[in-house]
Amino acid sequence: MNGRVLIIAGSDSGGGAGIQADIKTVTALGGFAMTAITALTAQNTTGVQGIHEVPANFVSQQMHSVIDDLGADAVKIGMLHRPEIIEAVANVLADKLPDVPVVLDPVMIATSGARLIEDAAVEALVERLLPCADLLIPNAPEAAALSGRIVETIDDAVAAARSMRDMGARAVLMKGGHLGGDTVTDLLFQGDDQSMRFTGARIDSRHTHGTGCTLASACAASLAQGLSLEAAVGRAHAYVRAAIETAPGYGGGYGPLNHAHTVRAD
């Protein structure tokens, strides 16, 4: 199906999240993945052992190199842990890709609990990147940090999504994995009269590392391929569920998904 996706995110040496998960997801869904790496991490299923910073001007250079030659049909943004990185990314997007759909995964805390963003970067994220986002995909803790609201129920999620849309995001996909109950509901909010719920039974698994990265990249790949927002989210939701259900079982902590479940070996 093709569809060029520029992924702007950090690297996960364990392969379960970040750039590695993004590339696997886009490829598994028939798209073409390109990257601008914002940080290197020493990371596995048990946690993040170290972060090596990438200079902001080199992030910009990576973006320019890709856009000027290959172009992009969608952008997926993940880990941007410093204000100067956020400024650099926002400037290039405004200059080079003002009309290309942007999927923003506001990566703040890893599945293991490690914090992946500086406090000062949260304000820059709200001011510079939320207005660029065609689709913002936070989990409950991220939504609480961005909206300033408590997010513990689906009603809380609706209120937080409304706040974040008022802050500039064109649409918000609230991930429901952190909310309680045997059923998980992802809420796509585009306005009070435009919302959809994607619901499924909670999967009892510790193999959930990189689910946010994977969901966002799946949405970006589908948008790059011309799907509507609703269809893109529905496809991404189904893809992630199957990836969790067929996870390979690696690692001693929060294990990776099976990103390749769409690929058949004949």
The single residue of 24, 35, 78, 175 carrying the catalytic annotation is 175
Candidates 211, 214, 219, 255; catalytic one? 211
Active site residue 208: yes
Residue type, 224: A
211 is catalytic: yes
Residue pair 156/150 in contact by the 8 Å Cβ criterion? yes
Which residue among the candidates 35, 208, 219, 234 is catalytic per the annotation? 208
Our answer to whether residue 175 is catalytic in this structure is yes
The radius of gyration computed from the CA coordinates of the chain, to the nearest angstrom, equals: 17
CA distance 84 to 60: 11
Per the DSSP assignment, residues forming a β-bridge with 40 are: 11, 52
Q: How far apart are CA 59 and CA 183, in angstroms?
A: 39
Q: Does 25 qualify as catalytic in the annotation?
A: no
From the list 3, 210, 234, 251, the catalytic residue is 210
Annotated catalytic residue, options 78, 212, 234, 255: 212
Annotated active-site residue 219? The verdict is no
Contact (Cβ atoms closer than 8 angstroms) between residue 5 and residue 74: yes
Cα of first residue to Cα of last residue in the chain, in angstroms, is 20
Q: Where are the extended beta strands (E) located within 45-152?
A: 47-53, 74-77, 102-104, 135-136
Q: In the block, which residue shows the tokens 């952190």?
A: 178
Does the annotation count 213 as an active-site position? yes
Q: Which of 38, 213, 214, 255 is catalytic?
A: 213
Give dist(CA 110, CA 209) in Å, integer.
Answer: 8
Write out the catalytic residue numbers: 175, 208, 210-213
